[in-house]
Amino acid sequence: MSIDNVTARISEIQARLAQFATVRTSASTSGGFATELSARVGGTATAGSVSGDAVVAEARKYVGLPYIWGGTDPTKGMDCSGLVQVVYKNLGYDLPRVSNQQAKMGTPVASMAEAQPGDLLAWDNSSRNNGVDHIAIYIGGGKMIEAPRTGLDIRVVDVPSTPDVIRRIIDQPATGASPVSARAAAGTPYADLINAAAARTGVPANLLAAVAKQESGFNAQAVSPAGAQGLMQLMPGTAKGLGVTNPFDPAQAIDGGARLLRSLLDKFGRTDLALAAYNAGAGAVSRYGGIPPYKETQNYVRNVMAMVS
């Protein structure tokens, strides 16, 4: 069997497996998607609750990560549809696994002239496949983020040609509204404070909640043997630098932890590296050029990423 035949057979199998995805394709019809989505995520991802800019910010975290065919691990590598699924899942949207199903979700956008940041751009590039076989996230200005192919990293590139399909998964909030990332799950301790900090900083609320759980088990009075304090386990010097006068106050701790995570996400561009820096320090991540070879830090990153995946 030739390589082309093997590739075609793999694509056919993927398409058939997609039919069994947990998200029903009926949710792709106009008006049905929001209802389906609300039912699947407890009503947290309502229309307008996530901005296109938030989608772009989430997608940018993975720029530089290797392309891995079939990959969905944001710490190791992803393919094009894996990237789309992970980005939207982190923002509260449950999309199918494969590109040809993702390209049927949300609502259609008529042309690139009407495309907005966060929209999905998709192409049917191969006659061997049935439907869309490549998908990317539009970031505005004629550019997109894509996981291209084996041997290349996730990257920002110019939109190469007119997409065959453009779909809008989220609705833009009213002008001036603060972008809100994925909300903390129902029943999460301090959920209101976490959601408010997420809205101010753009750090996904589920990530903030996962860090608080990993750091202190949601114990606002926790103190580590090293002297880290409060819900977000801020060291006294770090807390002072963030303007946190009382790290045992949940509101101050969560706000300070969110601003620290925001700065680390902006510095390193990836969630796993930001988490490693939160645990081991930004200097250690820069020195090793990635997650430091410390067992504690590696377990920390693995545990937190598992909570938000």
Q: What is the DSSP string of 210-275?
A: HHHHHHHTT-TT-B-TT--BTTTTB-HHHHHHTT-S-TTSHHHHHHHHHHHHHHHHHHHSSHHHHH
Residue ending a domain, choose from 137, 168, 199: 168
Residue 299 within a domain = yes
Mean pLDDT, range 76-105, rounded to an integer: 89
- Whether residue 6 contacts residue 12, with contact meaning beta carbons closer than 8 Å, is answered with no
Mean pLDDT of the chain: 81
Statement to judge: residues 204 and 136 lie in one domain: no
- Whether residue 182 contacts residue 91, with contact meaning beta carbons closer than 8 Å, is answered with yes
Of residues 215 and 23, which shows the higher confidence score? 215
Query: Judging by beta carbons within 10 Å of its beta carbon (0-12, 13-18, 19+), is residue 249 exposed, middle or buried?
Result: middle
Main-chain phi, psi angles of 156, to 5 degrees:
-100, 125
- The whole-number pLDDT of residue 165 equals 93
- The whole-number pLDDT of residue 171 equals 59
Residue 304's domain comprises 191-308
CATH of the domain at 209: 1.10.530.10
Statement to judge: residues 233 and 159 lie in one domain: no
Mean pLDDT, range 228-238, rounded to an integer: 96
Statement to judge: residues 87 and 163 lie in one domain: yes
pTM given for the model: 0.47
Residue 218 within a domain = yes
- The whole-number pLDDT of residue 59 equals 93
Residue 49's pLDDT band (boundaries 50, 70, 90)? low
Of residues 78 and 169, which shows the higher confidence score? 78
- How many domains does the structure of the chain reveal? 2
- The whole-number pLDDT of residue 7 equals 45
Residue 41 within a domain = no
Residue 30 within a domain = no
**Percentages helix, strand, coil for the chain, rounded to the nearest 5?**
45, 10, 45
Statement to judge: residues 137 and 219 lie in one domain: no
Residue 89 within a domain = yes
Which is nearest to 231 in space by CA: 220, 239, 223, 240?
220
Residue 212 has pLDDT above 50, yes or no: yes
Tell me the CA distances in angstroms from 61 to 154, 156, 265, one per residue in order: 10, 11, 7
Statement to judge: residues 127 and 161 lie in one domain: yes
Residue ending a domain, choose from 115, 134, 168: 168
- Whether residue 114 contacts residue 132, with contact meaning beta carbons closer than 8 Å, is answered with no
Mean pLDDT, range 119-132, rounded to an integer: 84
Alpha-carbon span 224 to 195, nearest angstrom: 25
Residue ending a domain, choose from 168, 202, 223: 168
Alpha-carbon span 163 to 249, nearest angstrom: 50
Tell me the per-residue pLDDT of 139-190, one tens digit each, with 9 for 90 and over: 998 999 999 999 999 999 999 999 999 999 885 333 333 344 467 888 999 9
Statement to judge: residues 238 and 289 lie in one domain: yes
Statement to judge: residues 154 and 73 lie in one domain: yes
Active site residues: 215
CATH of the domain at 120: 3.90.1720.10
- The whole-number pLDDT of residue 154 equals 96
Residue 56 has pLDDT above 70, yes or no: yes
Residue 113 within a domain = yes
Q: Would you call 111 helix, strand, or coil by DSSP? A: coil
